[in-house]
Amino acid sequence: MTDQTNLPAEDVPEAPPESRESLWLITFGPGIWALHFVLSYVTAAIWCAKIGRAGMLGDVRLIIAGYTVVALIGIALTGLRGWKLHSFGTATAPHDFDTPEDRHRFLGFATLLLCGLSFVSTIFVMLCVVFIRSCA
């Protein structure tokens, strides 16, 4: 673990602007997953209400697959942004110092981890329509 207080001034990375730090990015991955979850189940519910309980999911499976592709791309892009925030500068984990750089890296790492969880959760939602083929 390197102590940044003992590094020469030219070796310490410049802190990111405080105005750019936001907690909103950390919510994007779970938010995309939640939107995918709601859209998938509402779409399937409306489909099944229209065709009846004995009907097959059929075309709605393709619609939900489209939702899934869009959601996974959005989550992956958010995770990539989190990775870029986490890998800012030269220091590595743990983020123990009370500095703007370490807060920046921590938020990036938390965003990356939440995006990973959201990615897997989105795939699990999609698996419902893969294995369940009818409205019954």
Residue 72 lies in a domain: yes
**Which of 24, 136, 130, 131 lies closest to 68 in space, CA to CA?**
130
| pLDDT at residue 136, rounded to an integer | 79
Question: In this predicted model, what pLDDT tens digit does every residue of 32-51 receive, in sequence order?
Answer: 999 999 999 999 999 999 98
| pLDDT at residue 97, rounded to an integer | 62
Residue 58 lies in a domain: yes
In the chain, the number of structural domains is 1
| pLDDT at residue 1, rounded to an integer | 44
CB 112 within 8 A of CB 80: no
Residue 8 lies in a domain: no
| pLDDT at residue 84, rounded to an integer | 82
Residue 80 lies in a domain: yes
| pLDDT at residue 120, rounded to an integer | 97
Residue 7 lies in a domain: no
Domain range for 121 is: 23-131
Residue 79 lies in a domain: yes
Low-confidence ranges of the chain (pLDDT < 50): 1-3
pTM (2 decimals)?
0.78
